[in-house]
């Protein structure tokens, strides 16, 4: 059955996205409440009963529910309202003013991830207006604080208001875009994500006067450790989601490319063959197949002419599924060398979800109807999302905020980058795909209610089988 999106859906969603960009929700400090209240008021005007929660002044979250018949557990449409900082001097237009030019909409959050907020809002309202019967509730949630870990957003809601979010599945960020590898198009859907190990390495040495060089000072030890890390990296580790992604992509490629991709899974050949890929794809595959530790902050010394006794470097560690902090820290310490003392600052576990579910099948079918030449493939995200917190409620979360982008466009450079933008047509396509996915997954087939009613009238009351008994009979082979 086809669930066609209503006319004007894309334009409506684009209007919401433009309005959301205008709210400066840079985190820190966040200040998401104004954006959350904007969404709350729209939802309320449409006859829903949204909840606005503010665990700390300015840190607003909004949740709304479109009720279904409860035959299946809910589907959650999840997004965050906060964004990272933007250096306005490096943008072609102010980052918190929606600016449309050359077929693109510019503004901080157009990719990460106010686009999904706007799409989810438009889809939820379109479903409500349609009056279609739903097998399950559809929940809309737009939250604060994802960019710094979720304390005032997803983590707060999961801990204090789990009943608002409890669902079977969730659709979130970082999937559903077009990716081109050697002339073939793919639409990756996130089914796994790395864990987060923010940590610091401390190096010590003898303090001294800056006029006399010391090759074994704390700073020199730190510098040598970083050079080793850059040269060696962390060990190759092939997870099931990464293997599945590479094997599915390789299967659709010509023989030479197929050989290169499968060689990436080999610890001896991986580094050599990665040079056959372009720089962006080499970085992508490397991060998918290795835990990583990227130095992001360095601190040492307090005076120009004093060699410090202590130097430290902060790492953004991203940990593959199957690894814990103990295993990751051993690998990192081995590369940094004997002078590094590692301290864990924050840990968030890696996640993996199955791709053989009815929702994933629905996503694949809807996308293939729109892009028959593209392969829909499960993939492992190298970053982390609020799925970390949703997982505490047992929610299977897929990264799927669809867009029909130019597959040659470097989306990873736009997310958190200068001049963040999204194609207007690419966004409109994504809104319609999201609507078709949600509608076909959640809506009851037309006529189902009439059939149920008719069966109720035909069967005498004593012959109507309770649902639990019927299920038990089916499990025992009674058809």
- The domain that holds 24 is classified in CATH as 3.40.630.10
pLDDT band at 256 (very low <50, low <70, confident <90, very high): confident
Residues 6+ apart with CB under 8 A from 22: 96, 97, 98
Whole-number Å distance between alpha carbons of 142 and 32: 10
Best CA proximity match to 120, nearest among 50, 25, 28, 178: 50
pLDDT band at 401 (very low <50, low <70, confident <90, very high): very high
128 domain residue, yes or no? yes
Do both 52 and 175 map to the same domain? yes
Do both 359 and 343 map to the same domain? no
Per-residue burial over 258-269, b if 16 or more Cβ lie within 10 Å, else e, is bebbbbbbeeee
Residues 6+ apart with CB under 8 A from 129: 6, 46
Structure tokens at 282: 């080499």
Task: With beta carbons less than 8 A apart as the criterion, state whether 79 and 143 touch.
Answer: yes
1 domain residue, yes or no? no
Do both 121 and 39 map to the same domain? yes
For the cut 80, the answer to whether the pLDDT of residue 463 exceeds it is no
For the cut 60, the answer to whether the pLDDT of residue 201 exceeds it is yes
Whole-number Å distance between alpha carbons of 108 and 314: 26
Do both 182 and 52 map to the same domain? yes
Best CA proximity match to 327, nearest among 197, 149, 193, 232: 197
What is the average pLDDT value for the chain, to the nearest integer? 91
Q: Please compute the mean of the pLDDT values over residues 282-303 and round it to a whole number.
A: 93
Whole-number Å distance between alpha carbons of 93 and 420: 10
Q: Give bridge partners of residue 341 from the DSSP assignment.
A: 202
The number of distinct structural domains making up the chain is 2
pTM of this structure: 0.86
455 domain residue, yes or no? no
Structure tokens at 361: 């099948």
Whole-number Å distance between alpha carbons of 351 and 359: 18
Task: With beta carbons less than 8 A apart as the criterion, state whether 424 and 430 touch.
Answer: no
Phi and psi for 433 in degrees, rounded to 5?
-65, -40
Residues 6+ apart with CB under 8 A from 45: none
For the cut 60, the answer to whether the pLDDT of residue 469 exceeds it is no
The four Cα atoms 443, 447, 449, 454 give a dihedral, to 10 degrees, of -160
Domain range for 124 is 9-190+355-442
Structure tokens at 60: 């607003």
Q: Please compute the mean of the pLDDT values over residues 254-260 and round it to a whole number.
A: 88
Last residue of a domain, one of 348, 363, 396: 348
pLDDT band at 450 (very low <50, low <70, confident <90, very high): very low
160 domain residue, yes or no? yes
Q: Please compute the mean of the pLDDT values over residues 79-84 and round it to a whole number.
A: 98
Tens digits of per-residue pLDDT, 404-427? 999 878 787 889 999 999 999 999
**Residue count (the chain):** 479
For the cut 60, the answer to whether the pLDDT of residue 477 exceeds it is no
453 domain residue, yes or no? no
Do both 201 and 339 map to the same domain? yes
465 domain residue, yes or no? no
Whole-number Å distance between alpha carbons of 55 and 336: 40
140 domain residue, yes or no? yes
Whole-number Å distance between alpha carbons of 346 and 323: 15
Do both 342 and 378 map to the same domain? no
- Look at residue 411 and give its three-state secondary structure: helix
Q: What stretches of 257-368 adopt beta strand conformation (E)?
A: 292-300, 306-307, 310-319, 341-348, 351-352
Residue 275 belongs to a domain with what CATH number?
3.30.70.360
pLDDT band at 138 (very low <50, low <70, confident <90, very high): very high
Structure tokens at 156: 């707060």
Q: How many helices (H) and strands (E) does the chain have?
A: 17, 19
Last residue of a domain, one of 297, 328, 348: 348
Do both 30 and 103 map to the same domain? yes
Task: With beta carbons less than 8 A apart as the criterion, state whether 71 and 136 touch.
Answer: yes
For the cut 80, the answer to whether the pLDDT of residue 464 exceeds it is no
Q: Please compute the mean of the pLDDT values over residues 177-201 and round it to a whole number.
A: 93
Residues 6+ apart with CB under 8 A from 176: 187, 188, 189, 363, 367, 399, 400, 401, 402, 403, 430, 433
Whole-number Å distance between alpha carbons of 257 and 265: 13
Q: Please compute the mean of the pLDDT values over residues 40-58 and round it to a whole number.
A: 98
Do both 51 and 123 map to the same domain? yes
Last residue of a domain, one of 304, 321, 348: 348
Do both 332 and 371 map to the same domain? no
Whole-number Å distance between alpha carbons of 261 and 276: 10
pLDDT value at position 1? Answer: 53
Whole-number Å distance between alpha carbons of 400 and 403: 9
Do both 154 and 247 map to the same domain? no
Do both 308 and 184 map to the same domain? no
Whole-number Å distance between alpha carbons of 293 and 314: 9
Do both 289 and 416 map to the same domain? no
Best CA proximity match to 111, nearest among 375, 370, 432, 430: 430
461 domain residue, yes or no? no
């Amino acid at each position: 059955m086809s669930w066609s999106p209503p006319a004007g859906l894309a334009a409506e969603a684009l209007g919401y996205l433009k309005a959301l960009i205008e709210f400066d929700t840079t985190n820190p400090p966040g200040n998401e409440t104004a954006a959350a209240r904007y969404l709350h008021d729209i939802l309320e005007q449409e006859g829903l009963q949204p909840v606005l929660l503010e665990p700390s002044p300015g840190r607003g979250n909004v949740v709304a529910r479109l009720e279904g018949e409860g035959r299946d557990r809910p589907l959650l449409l999840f997004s965050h309202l906060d964004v990272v900082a933007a250096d306005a001097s490096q943008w072609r237009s102010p980052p918190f003013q929606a600016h449309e030019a050359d077929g693109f909409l510019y503004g901080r959050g157009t990719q990460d991830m106010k686009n999904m907020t706007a799409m989810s809002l438009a889809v939820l309202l379109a479903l409500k207006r349609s009056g279609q019967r739903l097998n399950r509730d559809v929940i809309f949630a737009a939250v604060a604080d994802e960019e710094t870990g979720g304390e005032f957003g997803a983590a707060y809601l999961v801990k204090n208001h789990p009943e608002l979010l409890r669902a079977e599945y969730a659709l979130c960020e970082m999937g559903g875009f077009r990716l081109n590898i050697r002339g073939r198009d793919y639409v990756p859907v996130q089914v796994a994500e790395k864990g987060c190990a923010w940590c610091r390495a401390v190096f010590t040495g003898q303090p001294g006067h800056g006029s006399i060089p010391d090759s074994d000072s704390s700073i020199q030890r730190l510098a040598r450790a970083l050079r080793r890390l850059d040269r060696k990296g962390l060990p190759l580790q092939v997870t099931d989601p990464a293997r599945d992604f590479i094997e599915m992509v390789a299967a659709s490629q010509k023989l030479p490319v197929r050989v290169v991709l499968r060689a990436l899974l080999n610890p001896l050949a991986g580094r050599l063959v990665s040079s056959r890929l372009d720089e962006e794809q080499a970085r992508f595959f490397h991060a998918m197949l290795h835990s990583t530790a990227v130095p992001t902050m360095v601190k040492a010394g307090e005076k120009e002419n004093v060699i410090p006794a202590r130097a430290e470097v902060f790492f953004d560690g991203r940990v593959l599924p199957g690894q814990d902090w103990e295993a990751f820290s051993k690998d990192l310490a081995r590369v940094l060398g004997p002078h590094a003392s590692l301290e864990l600052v924050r840990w968030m576990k890696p996640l993996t979800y199955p791709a053989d579910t009815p929702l994933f099948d629905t996503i694949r079918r809807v996308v293939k109807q729109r892009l028959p030449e593209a392969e829909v493939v499960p993939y492992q995200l190298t970053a982390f999302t609020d799925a970390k917190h949703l997982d505490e409620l047992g929610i299977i979360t897929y990264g799927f905020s669809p867009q029909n982008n130019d597959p040659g466009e470097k989306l990873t450079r736009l997310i958190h980058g200068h001049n963040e933008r999204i194609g207007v047509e690419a966004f409109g396509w994504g809104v319609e795909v999201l609507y078709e996915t949600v509608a076909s997954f959640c809506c009851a087939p037309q006529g189902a209610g009439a059939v149920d009613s008719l069966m109720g009238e035909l069967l005498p009351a004593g012959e109507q089988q309770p649902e639990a008994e019927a299920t038990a009979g089916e499990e025992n082979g009674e058809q």
